[in-house]
Structure 1
């Protein structure tokens, strides 16, 4: 397997920030980058800068009316009309409030995902990681769920238009990847596969097993919702089975994956009870299938993750370590209590309001098991059977 991968990043992406108290904190990008630097896993030659997506590229997904509203609300002093229309376009909420400069800042996020896609599709690298991306909730005509422009959807639409290939979108965020799903709900050449906590209890309230696509796209939308308090074994059992079956059935030319790391037990915005183990194992499955079915073509994006101190840097680092097949992964198999670098811990302990973990992997075997573990596992299996009923074994 190739170790050829690029890391798409620029500090300008840190400007994607709603306000100082908002849970979507771009500091996690710096923490992850610094962790990879501290272990010598990220060479400057591997880093590529995002470019700003053109308005034409944004319009592959978003409506002109919505883009015009985003532009109007990006001004230091929006007009009275722009303010009056902000509610209709979902940009006046506590989750997704407008902020100065958001049009250009979010175009750069979308451009980063396009750059990653071009690099992989042109064969410059097998894999590309863009952690600033993964804004999967934005709809064609509405902002939502901390997302202004949907960079994942824009990148997929760009790939479809420029390269005319089949795209598998895999979403591992604990919140359903609704914006991407609805953008391609009728497209037989884009398969969306989302793993998330059931929408019965969690934003955005969608992602049921019976959401399967429409028209020519029927069967190309696959949702695998799990119960609250799902743990590692049940999550990974469902992930591995669904990935194997869907990739074998759909035979994509490229995999675009979104890696929100908010299914962790410590995340404050959801109810799933997984450890860092799933963030080590899921990329391995995607990596292996990308090489087996897609010639290695794999673009990975960031996403949610709101315990930025104890969870996100470790979880996102596993993605890059998998892409470059770093020897640290083999050490973790032999040494499950392998320590994080002291230089990184020393640097970020000064800033963190919480005590940082000292090992790469959680000691999940010491955690108190969920009282309903067996029942939750069985419910997840039955739901998955419905989700995959049209996907051959």
Structure 2
């Protein structure tokens, strides 16, 4: 979670002049206050985080604080509340119509639970954005998570809420944290079918990842008819990411962002809140992936073949002493075989995963698996 990845992303966004594009604004929202944080998090957990901030040596196993993944530091509350506030602010702007799309690539901290920190995440800004939309009057919110890790915290928060559909594509839980997100996890008794999980075999590349996305997400969104889409775009599906085992390129990540953008326009008048997430190839992957995301949301998509700006490459070297990628592409033209058109291969592990998810969730939405 090196914050350098955020600085490099914003530097690349600025190098492409996206903040000054017509109709684009860079806006700041206040940090999430206690009443907002309580939309998702329990009061005793909020108290524990704020106590820990004044005692950096704290180890609080009950609340997941002071662990290797979630070390305590003096700004643990203020920094986490600030990130959460930006996602909530983006959701408010999109709902009220002051913005069609909102992007907070510092957000997407989807592992935080109501009562504990988990997986580098203290406050769950993604769940808070969804909860704020519900508080403002939204009746149906879709949450689409394409991080390599299961969006377990968001699923937990809305497990029994039929107003929220959570969809997560992720590496199979048998090979990756947090070991949840099986296809059989489909929502609580009060909201059957409200959770869709598509666990992908380790080693899945562009063609399989895109096939899986298009085999599940568009049909579920069409049936659910969301008023807003909140999406999480962790860049850790990439083949160079050091913490996971998928083999996706920046080009496929860009293609999925473009698809979610199109689905937002198709189903909910363009109302779309896009968040960052994981991503630990700090120089080569994260800045390009999230700059493509910002450019798509800004209505100024970047040709993948273009070179990265020289001024940005210089800044990369100054900050990291690493050479920056030269182009906005990994040199791949993403393609996939459509699941409905090409048929199901019963011997293929990816197709087995797709069909398991469709069989588990689709009937709840009146769809044939």
Partner of 1:97 in structure 2?
71
> 1:262 offset after TM fit, Å?
0.2
Structure 1 segments, 4+ long, off by >6 Å, are none
1:23-82, Cα deviation, whole Å (9 max, x unpaired):
x1111111111111112122296100021111011111111111110010011567xxxx
Where do residues 19-168 of structure 1 align in structure 2 (5 Å cutoff)? Answer: 24-43=1-20, 46-76=25-55, 83=58, 86-168=60-142
CA separation of 1:340 and 1:210: change in aligned 2, threshold 3 A: same
Match of 1:384 among 317, 334, 354: 354
Partner of 2:329 in structure 1?
361
Matched, 1:212 2:186: yes
3-state DSSP of counterpart to 2:355: helix
Partner of 2:340 in structure 1?
none
Q: Tell whether the 8 Å contact from 2:316 to 2:322 is kept in structure 1 after alignment.
A: no
Q: Tell whether the 8 Å contact from 1:230 to 1:376 is kept in structure 2 after alignment.
A: no
1:209-234, Cα deviation, whole Å (9 max, x unpaired):
00001112111100011011110010
CA separation of 1:247 and 1:355: change in aligned 2, threshold 3 A: same
> 1:124 offset after TM fit, Å?
0.6
1:312-366, Cα deviation, whole Å (9 max, x unpaired):
000001111111221533xx4xxxx43211121122123334432211111358x
Q: Tell whether the 8 Å contact from 1:275 to 1:362 is kept in structure 2 after alignment.
A: yes
TM-score, normalising length from structure 2? Answer: 0.91
> 1:136 offset after TM fit, Å?
0.4
Partner of 1:294 in structure 2?
268
CA separation of 1:223 and 1:327: change in aligned 2, threshold 3 A: closer
Partner of 1:351 in structure 2?
319
Match of 2:252 among 255, 275, 278: 278
> 1:302 offset after TM fit, Å?
0.8
Q: Distance in 1 between matches of 2:322 and 2:316?
A: 10
1:207-259, Cα deviation, whole Å (9 max, x unpaired):
00000011121111000110111100100111122121111111100000011
Residue range with higher mean Cα deviation, 292-301 or 241-250? 241-250
Q: Distance in 2 between matches of 1:245 and 1:127?
A: 22
CA RMSD, aligned part only? Answer: 1.9
CA separation of 1:327 and 1:166: change in aligned 2, threshold 3 A: closer
Q: Tell whether the 8 Å contact from 2:292 to 2:302 is kept in structure 1 after alignment.
A: no
| Unaligned 5+ runs, structure 2 | 334-344
1:154-188, Cα deviation, whole Å (9 max, x unpaired):
11111112223211001111010000001100111
Matched, 1:246 2:220: yes
Q: Tell whether the 8 Å contact from 1:188 to 1:220 is kept in structure 2 after alignment.
A: yes
Partner of 2:172 in structure 1?
198
Where do residues 287-326 of structure 1 align in structure 2 (5 Å cutoff)? Answer: 287-326=261-300
Q: Distance in 1 between matches of 2:301 and 2:191?
A: 41
Corresponding residue pairs, total: 351
TM-score, normalising length from structure 1? Answer: 0.86
| Unaligned 5+ runs, structure 1 | 1-23, 366-374
CA separation of 1:211 and 1:26: change in aligned 2, threshold 3 A: same
3-state DSSP of counterpart to 2:226: coil
Q: Tell whether the 8 Å contact from 2:69 to 2:120 is kept in structure 1 after alignment.
A: yes
Q: Distance in 2 between matches of 1:311 and 1:222?
A: 27
Residue range with higher mean Cα deviation, 149-158 or 309-318? 149-158
> 1:131 offset after TM fit, Å?
0.9
CA separation of 1:244 and 1:55: change in aligned 2, threshold 3 A: same
Q: Distance in 2 between matches of 1:154 and 1:328?
A: 30
Residue range with higher mean Cα deviation, 294-303 or 154-163? 154-163
> 1:378 offset after TM fit, Å?
2.0
